[in-house]
Amino acid sequence: MQYVSTRAKNTVVTGAQAIVKGLSEDGGLFVPSEFPAISKQELTAMEDMEYSERAAFVISKFLTDFSLEELNDYTKKAYARFYDGDPCPLVAIDDKTYILELWHGPTCAFKDMALTLLPHLMVASRKKVGETSKTLILVATSGDTGKAALEGFKDVEGCEIIVFYPSEGVSDMQKLQMQTQTGDNVYVCAIKGNFDDAQSAVKVIFNDDNVKAQLLENGYKLSSANSINWGRLVPQIAYYVSSYVDMLSSGEIEFGDKINFCVPSGNFGNILAGYYAMRMGVPINKLICASNKNKVLTDFFSSGKYDINRDFYKTMSPSMDILISSNLERLLFEISGRDDKYVADLMNSLKNKGYYEIDFAKLQANAANFEGGFSNEDMTMYTIADFYDENDYLLDTHTAVAVGVYKAYQENSGDDTKTVIVSTASPYKFPQDVYNALTGEFVQNSINAADMLEEYTGFDIPEPLQNLQSRVVRFKDVIEKDQIKQAVLNAIKK
Ligand SMILES: *Cc1c(COP(=O)(O)O)cnc(C)c1O
C-alpha cells in the first residue's frame, strides 16, 4: 500500500514515510492509494479476537510495510495502558442506541486510542526509513490531543515533543493535566489565541524552510501527532470495524445489517476514520457529524459551502471548538474523485478568502452517507441531565453534543437504524459543566467539581484523573502566537 498527497497525487510514499513526515511537503495530507477490502470471513473471524488483535489486523491492511507480528506487539503494548480491561466497550442503552466508550486510556479521551500506539509506529517507521536525526513532534491542541500525545511520547527514544494550547481555550482539568506532564523530552506552552491560531502557527512552521533548516542544523526533523498524521488516523479505523464485530457477536445485528455512527466532531479525524471503515466494506448507513455551536461542518453538509468567516465561540465542549477541520481535506479528495488540483484550489481559497464552495449536487451524490447537525449550549446541558435521568448514564459535554444531534436526527428522519454514538471523553474531564448540567450549580474549582460529581452520581473518578492537585506544575509559559517559531527554537536548544 502506497500513500499519496491530497494536493499532488504524484507524491507517493510508503506508510512509514507518511508517518515520519506527518504532512506532505506540498501542504497536502497523505491518504492511502486505495481502500483495502475487509471480507465477511475476516469480520467473523475477528469475533474471537481481543481488541489489540483486531486493531493490528485492520491496521495491517493499510500499513503493509509492517508485519502483522510487529503490529500485534505494538497494539498489545498500547492497549495494555488502558486502565480497565476492554479499551473500547460498547454499552447498550436500549435496543437501538449504543455508546462506544473510547476514553478508558491514560488521559481519559478518545485521543488515547491512537496516541498510545503512534509512538510505537513512529519509532518503527524511523527505523524503516533509516532516519538518523531526532524527530520533533509539534502539536497544536484544543485540549485532549496535547495530553494524550505527551503521555504517548514522553521519554520515547529519538523523539521530542512540544505542545501548544490556547491559554483560555481548554478546560481547567485539561490545562492541569498538561502543565503537570512528566518526562525529559517534553515542553508545553500556552498561546494567546484560539485553537485555530495554534494550529495555523504550527502549520506555518511545517512549511517554513528557514525554521526547518535551523532545526536540521540542531539534528531535528519535524513530524506531527495531530490527526493530519496518517499514524493518528489508521488506529481509529479499527474501533469502527471492531464495534461492528461487537454488534455481530452480541446478536444485536446480523451480518450485512447496516448501522449508523454519530460522532462529536472537530478536526473531522474521528468521523473520517468511520468513513474509511465504510470504504473497506463495513456496512454503514449514516455517519452523523455532530458539531457544537461552531457549526461550520453542519453548514458545509447542508450547503456545500465551507466558510470560516464567522464568529468563533468558546463552548463547554472545547475539543470541538474548531473552525478549520483539517481532515475534511481528505474527504474532499474522495468526493471529488481524487482530484488533487481541485483540492489544492479549494485549500488555497480557504487560506486566502476564508471559504470554499463545492458543487452541492456532487456533495449529495458522493457524500450521501454523511448527515450534519449541531447542538447549542442549552441543548447540550439539557441532554446531559435528561440522559442521566432516563438511563442513569453520565455523558461528557462532547458526547452530549452527539446524543443531542442524534436524537434530533432520529426524530426528523424516522431512521430506526441501530446507532452507535461515539463517546470521546470521560465526564470527569469536564466536571464543572457536567455537574452544573445535573444540579444547576457551577463549582469554581474543577477538582472540587469532580469530587462533588462523584458523590452525586456514585460513578468513580477514573484513575488517571485522581490526585491531579498533588502533582507538580512544570509548564507555565504563555506566549503571543507570533512567538511560536522562537519558542520552538528555544525549546530544542534547552
Ligand atoms: C478531539 C476530540 C473531539 C473531536 O475529534 P476530531 O477527530 O477532531 O473530529 C471530540 N471530542 C473530544 C473529547 C475530543 O478530544
Instruction: Summarize pLDDT for 241-285 with one digit per residue, the tens.
Output: 999 999 999 999 999 999 999 999 999 999 999 999 999 999 999
77 in Cβ contact with 120 (< 8 Å): yes
Query: What is the tens place of the pLDDT at every residue in 159-181?
Result: 999 999 998 888 888 899 999 99
Counting from 1 in the atom list of ligand 1, the atom nearest the Cα of 264 is 10
Please give the order of strands across the beta sheet that includes 478-480: 220-224, 134-140, 159-166, 186-192, 478-480
Angstrom distance (rounded) from CA 292 to CA 87: 26
The cell numbers describing 231, all together, are: 499514524
* pLDDT at 170 (0 to 100): 86
- Angstrom distance (rounded) from CA 333 to CA 5: 10
Q: Which atom belonging to ligand 1 lies closest to the Cα atom of 103?
A: 13
Mean pLDDT of 12-16: 98
Cα 57 to ligand 1 centroid, rounded to whole Å: 24
pLDDT tens digits, one per residue of 343-386 = 999 999 999 999 999 998 988 889 999 999 999 999 999 999 99
Look at residue 42 in the predicted model and tell me its pLDDT.
Answer: 98
Contact 107, 177 (CB under 8 A): yes
**Predicted local distance difference test score (pLDDT) of residue 460:** 96
pLDDT tens across 213-245, in order? 999 999 999 988 988 999 999 999 999 999 999
Given a cut of 90, whether residue 84 has pLDDT beyond it is: no
Q: Which protein residue's CA is at the shortest distance from atom 15 of ligand 1?
A: 144
Q: Which of 108, 267, 397, 426 to mutate to test ligand 1, by most ligand atoms within 8 A of the CB atom?
A: 267
Q: Cα separations (Å) of 95 from 274, 282, 285, 416, 417?
A: 22, 20, 17, 10, 10
- For the stretch 400-412, pLDDT in tens is 999 999 999 999 9
Distance 103 CA to ligand 1 centre (A): 11
- The string over 386-400, giving b where at least 16 C-beta atoms fall within 10 Å of a residue's C-beta and e elsewhere, is bbbeeeebbbbbbbb
Ligand 1: distance of its center to the CA of 428 in Å?
16
pLDDT of residue 349: 98
| Ligand 1 centroid distance, CA of 315 (Å) | 13
DSSP-derived letter for residue 459 is P
Q: What is the mean pLDDT of the chain?
A: 95
Q: What is residue 470's predicted lDDT score, i.e. its pLDDT?
A: 87
* Predicted confidence band of residue 153 (pLDDT cuts 50, 70, 90): very high
pLDDT at residue 493 tops 90:
no
Give the chain's count of helices (H) and strands (E): 21, 16
Determine contact, residues 125/20, Cβ cutoff 8 Å. yes
pLDDT in tens, 429-467: 999 999 999 999 999 999 999 999 999 999 999 999 998
Residues ≥6 apart with Cβ < 8 Å to 466: none
Beta-carbon contacts of residue 112 (< 8 Å; ≥ 6 apart): 81, 82, 102, 103, 104, 105, 106, 148, 151, 152
DSSP state of 423: E
- pLDDT at residue 251, rounded to an integer: 96
Q: CB under 6 Å to ligand 1: residues?
A: 109-111, 144, 227, 264-270, 319-320, 398, 424-425
Residue 197: the pLDDT is: 85
276 closest CA partner among 44, 472, 115, 37: 37
Could you give the residue ranges of the DSSP H alpha helices within 319-445?
328-335, 340-353, 360-366, 377-391, 397-413, 431-439
Q: Ligand 1 center to residue 173 CA distance, Å? A: 16
Q: How crowded is residue 94: how many other Cβ atoms within 10 Å of its Cβ?
A: 8
Strand, helix or coil at 94?
coil
306 alpha carbon to ligand 1 midpoint, in Å?
19
- Residue 490 region, left (φ>0) first, then alpha (ψ -120 to 50), else beta? alpha
Which percentage of the chain shows pLDDT scores above 90? 87
Residue in 190, 187, 159 with CA at minimum distance from that of residue 172: 190
Cβ(279)–Cβ(35) below 8 Å? yes
* Nearest of 311, 339, 318 to residue 267 by alpha carbon: 318
Looking at the predicted structure, is the pLDDT value of residue 4 above 80? yes
Quick one: pLDDT at residue 447?
92
Identify the band that residue 200 occupies on the pLDDT scale cut at 50, 70 and 90.
confident
Looking at ligand 1, which atom is closest to the CA of residue 143? 15
Q: Does residue 15 surpass a pLDDT of 80?
A: yes
Distance 40 CA to ligand 1 centre (A): 30
User: What does the alpha-carbon distance between residue 221 and residue 214 come to, in Å, rounded to a whole number?
Assistant: 10
